[in-house]
Chain A
Amino acid sequence: MIWLSWRQFRWQALTAAVTIVLAGAWLLYFGFDVRDAHSAARSACRTGSGCHQAMAEFEARYRETMYFVAAGLGLGLALLGTFWGAPMVARELEAGTHRLVWNQSITRRRWLTTKLLLTALAAMSTTAVISALLTWAARPVDEASANRFDTIIFGTRNIAPIGYALFAVTLGTVVGLLVRRTLPAIAITLVAFIAVQFAVPNLVRPHLLPAKTATMAMPTEVIDQARNLGGIGGGSVIGGITLPDEPGAWISSTSPLLTADGHPLSASRFNRCLNNPPMTGAHGTFGNTAPCLGKLNLHLKITYQPSGRYWSFQLLETALYVLLSALLAAFALRRVRHHLT
């Protein structure tokens, strides 16, 4: 059975090998490029002039590339589902060859188990190589940005992508088994995989571990460290806060600015500070607005995941995908035995 699986898998295996060579070569090049830029930024630190700014520029220079690479990896994972998973059973059903292979002296369960295992292992090891190289290449940028929990970046580093690869292949196989035709199976797998990849980071990941909460006072200096004030929907909100004693923590939610009695700051007082604050000659990010708000004795309620939980989250998310894949595989093995009419 291993011979047959391998014989039917050899083009995919060749694709994987070519992908590893090409993507691997580029990632090596990219990794060294990042390290050159990093040491240049650090030498700016040693000379003492504008270390913070140099590091921020270094991080900003690669930010876009990081998202492009993440998109590429996400697409590659989806392709594993559509071109390795979906046709695995669907192509046999479509061509009628299941009637040939299922009448050899081997049970359908063993047939599917062998094919699924071989394909999943190939997908996982290909992804593991790419993910390891990407994690290595991006490390200086990731350290500088201290944002490893980023919705998109998190899923492209370390072990999480290996779980996604397993899931993509299993999902594709099950869809192919249910839909029985290759092309619709490919389309459905693509849509379903992307839907899961959007749903998990936004809806599931924040709840994998119970979040911690913190109250944070909002004096003028802290307000000036934020990224933005106010929002599209109005209201006295502040964005881009980092916790001073928990660098790199994943802030999952931030309350509006609260007054000392715990009520949200009224929109009229917030807007007064925003639009015509008293002139104090302040030069922070938000100019005169920051001291105007700072004087109001405001605070924030923040829920967050400490940065020390990064590996717990990597493990939990991977385990979640492995569990989903195991359920799908169990369903497929049941289905292939009984309900194929």
Chain B
Amino acid sequence: MPHDDPRPPVLRAEGLTKRYGRRRRPALDGIDLTIPPDRIIGLVGPNGAGKSTLLHMACGLTEPTSGSLQILGSRPAADAAHLARVGFMAQDAPVYRSFTVAEHLRLGARLNPGWDMAFAERRVREAGLDPSQKAGGLSGGQRAQLALTIAAAKRPDLLIFDEPAAALDPLARQGFLQSLMSFVADLKAGAILSSHLLGDVQRVCDHIIVLCDARVQIAGDVTDLLATHCRLPSAHVPAGAELIDGSLARFTVPPPPETEPVTLEELVLAYMTRAELSPARALQEVAR
């Protein structure tokens, strides 16, 4: 992150830990993480890695057991003004089943001072939703579009999506991710989305956080990560390189020319595999 940027980081976590119950393994274990502004961040990891926990803490639905977390420079859900700056779409896109689509927009208008009704109505029209239909009768894809509209029409500075496309069929997913991208561009907002599907993340994100086993394995801008990770031609690990998994290594110096480039998928899988094989060695590092 450039030091002359006056804006606070989108997310800053220090020693962030969450335990559900005293005896259980922590869902998040001492996370240190800083996310610069103006990114679309993909939070990837296997199911149960702590993605939902991190995002719920980011919007104030869950409180950390220890450590600190700041979103856009203040405590999550600190007050009404801060709530207005963060839009959240929860997993499974919860909506009020007995409310019509139009009533959901009215709810948004009543509860958000910055609500953009023209935007909301346009998005509802574009998604092909009938304003007089009860939300209980919407398909999964339509419900996701409605939840997305509610989260975005309050014009937040940061949009958080928890597994937004997990329950959707491929076609609905395609449409949904397109909407999501255009929303983020329209609003000039930052966005964090979690997914266990790497393909979704690859399509839309320019910053990746790999979360496995309650810890951050690697985090950074996609271009930086691809530039610093390579496949080694031999078993020999040169100076300035760290072997992650198989022949994939991370370089702290410019990689030598005989190495092969890797794809984002290979990179993420390598970190996930390493975390799976030896949880104790898991690194907590923020790539710069």
Contact = CB atoms under 8 A, between A and B. Distances in A.
A95 B99 CA distance: 13
Contacts of A7: 99, 103, 107
Contacts of A101: 107, 111
Given A7-B99, A100-B90, A1 B147 contact: no
A311 to B, nearest CB: 43
Contacts of A1: 110-111
A97 B113 CA distance: 20
A97 B147 CA distance: 11
Contacts of B106: 3
Contact of A103 (B59, B99, B110): B59
Nearest to A95: B94
Given A99-B61, A340-B61, A341-B20, A104 B108 contact: yes
Nearest to B64: A341
Interface in B59-113: 59-63, 77, 79-81, 83-84, 86-88, 90, 92, 94-97, 99, 103, 106-108, 110-113
Contacts of B59: 103
B193 interface: no
A105 B111 CA distance: 6
A97 to B, nearest CB: 5
Interface in A48-80: none
A96 interface: yes
Contact of A105 (B60, B63, B92, B114): B114
A338 interface: yes
Residue from A3, A100, A102, A108 having most chain B Cβ neighbours under 10 A? A100
Contact of B92 (A4, A96, A104): A96
Interface residues of B, number: 37
Nearest to A104: B111
B218 interface: no
A95 B92 CA distance: 11
B20 A105 contact: no
A308 B14 CA distance: 66
B147 A100 contact: yes
B150 interface: yes
B215 interface: no
Nearest to A8: B96
Contacts of A8: 96
B79 A107 contact: yes
B94 A100 contact: yes
A102 B84 CA distance: 11
A108 B80 CA distance: 9
24 contacts: A4-B110, A4-B111, A7-B99, A8-B96, A96-B92, A98-B61, A99-B61, A99-B88, A99-B94, A100-B90, A101-B107, A104-B107, A104-B108, A104-B111, A104-B112, A104-B154, A105-B84, A105-B154, A107-B80, A108-B77, A340-B61, A340-B62, A341-B56, A341-B63
Given A106-B80, A106-B112, A107-B77, 5 more contacts: A3-B106, A98-B61, A103-B88, A105-B112, A341-B63
Interface of B: 18, 20, 56, 59-63, 77, 79-81, 83-84, 86-88, 90, 92, 94-97, 99, 103, 106-108, 110-114, 147, 150-151, 154
